[in-house]
């Protein structure tokens, strides 16, 4: 069976996928979630490749938000990665950064809720986390996500991407039409540039919080036959 590797975004950790993992397991899959250090893009790429090195057989590599930039690079040269799945995710081209993409279109609420620590890391205002990331998810779920969020190093979003795996690896893109973090217009532009198979959901930036069962079914369908 195709392995499914799940890669989280900034201000999150692998537990973002907890309910999705449970649902995928119920469908017979054995998904693995990365835990990104969020100190540098290169370090996060290495963390995903470390997971890939432990897996045999075909892999569906899934990236959410910033995790899309990670899988774009981590899949390069990994022949057992047979497909990429972008979930409301950044998908940079060569030389492009996450911050470049973030500036493509207006509408993100991140500047309003972005906070900086004294030692050069960032986080999202905990009280507003759910409103920003997944307003359609249960409040208790997003409160938990806010409580366990990781603190990425400032500037991590400015690292330029290498040659993108999506140029050679079949890709799909789940567009969130109520996204308040990554504008829907940007998601559509990225998906179109990739030539990705696209699906649109009426949901916010974090469908794993709001619709984990549906997301698991979606990913299982993508993994089928790889």
pLDDT, tens digit (0-9, with 9 covering 90-100), for 15-52: 999 999 999 999 999 999 999 999 999 999 999 999 99
Upper half-sphere CA count for residue 125 (Cβ side, 13 Å): 10
CB-CB contact of 211 with 88 (8 Å): no
Write down the pLDDT at residue 1. 87
What is the value of pTM for the model shown?
0.98
pLDDT band at 89 (very low <50, low <70, confident <90, very high): very high
Q: What is the DSSP letter of 225?
A: T
Q: How far apart are the first and last CA of the chain?
A: 8
Task: State the pairing for strand pair 122-124/114-116.
Answer: antiparallel
**Which CA distances in Å does 65 have to 9, 28, 175?**
5, 26, 11
Q: Band of the pLDDT at 142, cuts 50, 70, 90? A: very high
Q: Residue 214: pLDDT above 90?
A: yes
56/36 Cα distance (integer angstroms) = 21
């Amino acid at each position: 069976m195709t392995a499914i590797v799940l890669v989280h975004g900034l201000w999150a950790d692998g537990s973002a996928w907890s309910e999705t993992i449970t649902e995928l397991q119920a469908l017979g899959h054995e998904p693995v979630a990365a835990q990104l250090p969020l100190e540098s893009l290169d370090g996060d790429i290495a963390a995903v490749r470390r997971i890939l090195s432990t897996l045999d057989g075909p892999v569906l590599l899934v990236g959410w938000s910033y995790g899309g930039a990670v899988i774009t690079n981590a899949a390069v040269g990994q022949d057992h990665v047979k497909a990429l799945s972008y979930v409301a995710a950044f998908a940079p081209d060569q030389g492009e950064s996450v911050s470049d993409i973030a500036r493509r279109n207006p509408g993100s609420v991140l500047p309003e809720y972005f906070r900086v620590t004294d030692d050069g890391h960032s986080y999202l205002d905990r009280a507003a986390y759910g409103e920003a990331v997944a307003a359609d998810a249960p409040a208790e779920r997003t409160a938990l996500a806010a409580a366990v969020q990781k603190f990425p190093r400032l500037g991590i979003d400015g690292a330029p991407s290498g040659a993108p795996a999506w140029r050679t690896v079949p890709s799909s893109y789940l567009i969130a039409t109520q996204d308040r973090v990554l504008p829907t217009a940007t998601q559509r532009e990225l998906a179109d540039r990739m030539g990705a198979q696209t699906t649109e959901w009426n949901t916010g930036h974090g469908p794993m919080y709001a619709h984990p069962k549906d997301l698991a079914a979606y990913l299982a369908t993508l993994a089928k036959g790889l």
